[in-house]
Amino acid sequence: MHQILEDLTWRYATKKFDSEKVVSDENFEVLKESLRLTPSSYGLQPLQFVVVENKSIRNQLVAASFGQAQVQDASHLFVICIEEAIDDALIDSYVSAVIDTRNVDPERIVNYANYMKKIIGEMTNDERITWASKQAYIALGQLLHTCATMRIDATPMEGFDADRYAEILDLKTKKLRPVLVCPVGYRHQSDGMQHEKKVRRDADKLFKKM
């Protein structure tokens, strides 16, 4: 089997983590860098990743996650947030980064900056939230694959109360909205889900030749 397919078959949405096993600092830095390198629409990355270490806060988050204990037992917990302020300042900061990183003449990028400002400026607030949330899902997908290649377990999670998370983590004052949660760590040997076969639609239902 191709190595990539072995990795993707090895991973599963972990239901029970071994709370004794910890992702090393070195490996955790790789996960962070994978998130940082995630592609995004226009490259704007309207995201922030909150890493919750405090176990008593994580205990409160379990209650805000329909009792899903992965939030507490995993080695580390990512809360993937979108920025609420998706405005000209976000675009200006991206444009400055392009100018600095690539040594670009500001004159050469001004039209592109104005184009992005127009597209995003014309969105309703709901459209901006939807657009930014899509970027969060791309980051989640990249994180899941990176974890799998490193034999680190992870659970993609939408099953949580975003308002309660925002309250517990004081995200409103930081102008952040939680969109996804992803505990990472190592599976508990008693988690029966690791032995279940993958349930996926057949390829002939998923792919159409034209």
Q: Which residues bind ligand FMN (CB under 6 A)?
A: 12-13, 15, 68, 155-159, 198
Minimum Å gap between C-beta 76 and ligand FMN is 17
Q: For the chain, give me the number of helices (H) and strands (E)?
A: 9, 4
Using CB positions, name the residue nearest to ligand FMN. Answer: 159
Minimum Å gap between C-beta 186 and ligand FMN is 16
Reported as type and span, the H/E element at residue 5 is helix 3-10
Minimum Å gap between C-beta 79 and ligand FMN is 13
In 10 A of CB 86, how many CB atoms? 21
Q: Token digits for 114?
A: 């104005």
CB 134 within 8 A of CB 49: no
Residue 74 or 116: which CB sits closer to ligand FMN?
74
Nearest to 169 by CA among 90, 26, 32, 71: 71
> Which ranges of 17-105 does DSSP label H, i.e. alpha helix?
25-36, 55-63, 70-73, 88-102
Residue 121 or 159: which CB sits closer to ligand FMN?
159
d(CA 150, CA 159): 25
Q: Token digits for 124?
A: 């309703």
Residue 158 or 163: which CB sits closer to ligand FMN?
158
Minimum Å gap between C-beta 155 and ligand FMN is 6
Residue 27 or 70: which CB sits closer to ligand FMN?
70
Residue 109 or 137: which CB sits closer to ligand FMN?
137
Minimum Å gap between C-beta 50 and ligand FMN is 17
